[in-house]
Amino acid sequence: QRQASPFTIQSYVALHSHANNYLTPRVSSTTSFSKQFKHDAQKPQNDINNYHLHLTVTPKRTLTETKFCYSTRMSPPPWEALILVATYLDPKTLTIASCVSKSWFSSMSSDHVWKPLLTTQFPSLATLSSAVAYRRLFLMGHAAAARRSQRPPKPSLSLEDLVFAVSVSTRDGVVASGVRAGEKLRMEAAGMFRFGVGCDGGVVLKEGEEEVRVTWNVVLKGWGGVFTAVEREGKVRLVGGGEGWFWEEMPAPGCCSGAVASALVGDLKVGMCEEKDGNGVRVEEVGVGILRVVDWRYVSVEDGLRYFQHFLLTNHVT
């Protein structure tokens, strides 16, 4: 035989009378108790310090039911209490608590706990007819949301690694051109990928409408790569202080650049000035930049560099 340790018992005794059919509490007491186990088969499967015993005694004319609840200071909470508490926890705390033990994992991972959280934060996933647990669906939704909000890494390129080359041509040949290293570019808007490239020694042109061809090439220093951002033809009115605008959709980076739109356009502006003697005009500056189609705003410098590195750092020459 095996002697068990003393326990603290909270006993609740209720008397049910068959005569008047009502339930009346009689006793509420605390006492000490020890139980002997004849063999291990009678020992509760859980820890000896954490079990419940229900004892019913039935006399001839009355029914008395006594419930004993045994516990000690070291007893873990019952699984019913864990589930009750779990409904008040946030997803992060639930995930941490599920690592305590197998019983905690079972309680903290139940669909009853995770379904309201999934419905609140990811309602589209909650409507899926799937055998996957709600906890798993929530984690999948959280991972997808984190990927969307994750900031892209810093670009491997810098402006100092690039050279911008622009040209304006008519049927008679090149009338203006400019080459500027990235660090010498004039930034037209702080933080935006929008720059001005000066054109020195341009050909003087007569005022009027003219068919022109414009080109913007981005060159990796050391001739490691060349990317043509804009190459367009169109009519422009040659007049002092006038401007001519051109744009072209840029290819998507990656293996499917020819089949998928990038949602970016290369923007090129031809700025003209009048000669001092008023005898004709010439191209003074060419402005270049990258615009987003979705809102027609210029991308940031980092986004522009990140785009160009897909073509220039993989030896992809366009």
DSSP string, 77-113: PPHHHHHHHHTTS-HHHHHHHTTS-HHHHHHHT-HHH
Cβ partners under 8 Å of residue 295, min gap 6: none
CA distance 235 to 132: 61
pLDDT of residue 261: 59
Residues 206 and 292 placed together within one structural domain of the fold:
yes
Q: Please check whether residue 8 is in contact with residue 23, taking contact to mean a CB–CB distance below 8 angstroms.
A: no
Residue 290: CB atoms within 10 A of its CB come to 23
User: Is the domain of 289 the same as that of 166?
Assistant: yes
pLDDT at 78: 66
Please check whether residues 83 and 67 belong to one and the same domain.
Answer: no
pLDDT of 236 higher than 60: yes
Burial class (CB in 10 A: 0-12, 13-18, 19+), 152: exposed
* Residue 174 and residue 294 in one domain: yes
- Greatest mean pLDDT range, 7-16, 267-276, 306-315: 267-276
Residue 184 has a pLDDT of 86
What are the two backbone dihedrals, phi and then psi, of residue 122, each rounded to the nearest 5 degrees? -135, 70
Task: Find the mean pLDDT for residues 284-297.
Answer: 92
pLDDT at 228 over 90: yes
Residues 273 and 226 in one domain: yes
Contact 233, 212 (CB under 8 A): yes
Question: pLDDT (tens digit, 9 = 90+) per residue, 241-289?
Answer: 889 999 999 988 865 555 555 789 999 999 999 888 778 899 999 999 9
Highest mean pLDDT among 79-88, 119-128, 164-173: 164-173
318 assigned to some structural domain: no
CA–CA separation, 304 and 32 (whole Å):
77
Same-domain pairing of 122 and 26: no
Q: Which of 22-36, 71-85, 102-116, 229-243 has the highest mean pLDDT?
A: 229-243
Cβ atoms of 107 and 85 within 8 Å: the answer is no
Asked whether the beta carbons of 165 and 217 are under 8 A apart, the reply is yes
Distance of CA 276 to the CA centre of its chain: 56
**Pair 115, 219 in one domain:** no
The pLDDT of residue 76 is 58
Note down the domain range covering 27.
2-71
189 and 298: one domain? yes
> Are residues 173 and 255 both part of a single domain?
yes
Please report whether residue 276 resides in a domain. yes
For the chain, give the mean pLDDT: 75
Q: How many domains does the chain have?
A: 3
pLDDT bin (cut points 50, 70, 90) of residue 43 is: very low
Q: What are phi and psi of 10, to 5 degrees?
A: -105, 115
User: Euclidean distance between the first and final Cα of the chain, in Å?
Assistant: 89
Residue where a domain stops, chosen among 149, 179, 209: 149
Q: Tell me, what's the pLDDT at 226?
A: 94
CB of 207 within 8 A of CB of 279?
Answer: no
Q: Which pTM does this prediction carry?
A: 0.59
127 plus 6 within the same structural domain: no
Q: Are residues 139 and 172 in the same domain?
A: no
pLDDT recorded at residue 36 = 36
